[in-house]
Amino acid sequence: MSAIRRFVPQHLSKCSTFEVLTACLWRCRTIALQPDPEEESRVLCIVNARAKFKPALPVGYYGNAFAFPVALTTAGRLCQNPLGYALELVKQAKADVTEEYMRSLADLMVIRGRPHFTVVGTYLVSDVTRAGFGEVDFGWGKAAYGGPAKGGVGAVPGVASFYIPFKDNNGQDGIVVPICLPAPAMERFIKELDAMLNANDQPKRVQTSTTFITSAL
């Protein structure tokens, strides 16, 4: 993450890992897909809304309590601007989720039901690194994430990524991000991300042990 944070402007230096990673992947993914510059590009961030209410939902409540606000721009603006542009959009989308927002959303679902979100030009992300899946044991040992059996099918056709926690062979914590793209776009995605991580013209470069591993399913 420190390699990516080199591209974060000073006024956004306190942004979270989720925000930086989401902005980076959204931008790199859009560049890889090569959409029309005037086409809308959006990222949906699943946001925990349990603490947005006053009083907050009680500990132990296990019903759904989330929203996925949208950060919206054009593909051209997203690709041509530096990472900080996407990062500000992601931060603002998260900040928009307030108690008033959640109550308005609930009213809207009563009136219009729960229509599927727009898939075209959309990237949906969810951070489950704190969900505790790694602590679940049904008698076969700790869970090991293996990825989707097949990408790009079902109700969410290849537009979603879940941030999965993992430990490397040295016991260091990391994040696995499954991403589904057509083969040519995946090659461009890897090239764009690699160029970003290995850029040598950024000031105050820091040493990092971050490793990105790509694999095809």
Domain boundaries, the chain: 2-197
Question: Where do we find the tokens 């209410």?
Answer: 53
CA distances from 144 to 133, 201, 214 (A): 9, 38, 17
Say if residue 203 is preceded by a cis peptide, omega within 30 of 0. Answer: no
Secondary structure of residue 166 in the 3-state scheme: strand
- 205 to each of 9, 14, 208, 215, how far by Cα in Å? 14, 18, 9, 28
Residue 213 burial (10 A CB sphere; 0-12, 13-18, 19+)? exposed
Neighbours of 30 (CB within 10 A): 25
CA dist 113 and 171 (Å) reads: 45
> What averages of pLDDT result for each successive group of 10 residues across the chain (217 residues)?
90 95 97 96 93 87 89 97 98 95 92 85 92 86 73 65 87 88 94 88 40 48
Q: What is the pTM of this model?
A: 0.85
Q: Give the pLDDT confidence score for residue 73 in this predicted structure.
A: 98
Q: Determine the distance from the C-alpha atom of residue 138 to the mean position of all C-alpha atoms in its chain, rounded to a whole number.
A: 29
Question: How wide is the angle at C-alpha 52 spanned by C-alphas 51 and 57, nearest 5°?
Answer: 50
What is the pLDDT, as a whole number, of residue 210? Answer: 45
What's the fold here for domain 2-197? Chloramphenicol Acetyltransferase (3.30.559)
Give residue 118's pLDDT: 81
Q: Which two tokens stand for residue 179?
A: 């991403």
Token reading at 126: 């969810």
Looking at 39-174, list the stretches that DSSP marks H as alpha helix, in order from N- to C-terminal side. 75-80, 83-95, 99-112
The token pair at 12 is 């956004």
Helices (H), the chain: 2-5, 17-33, 75-80, 83-95, 99-112, 183-197
The burial of 26, by beta-carbon neighbours within 10 Å (0-12 exposed, 13-18 middle, 19 or more buried), is given as: buried
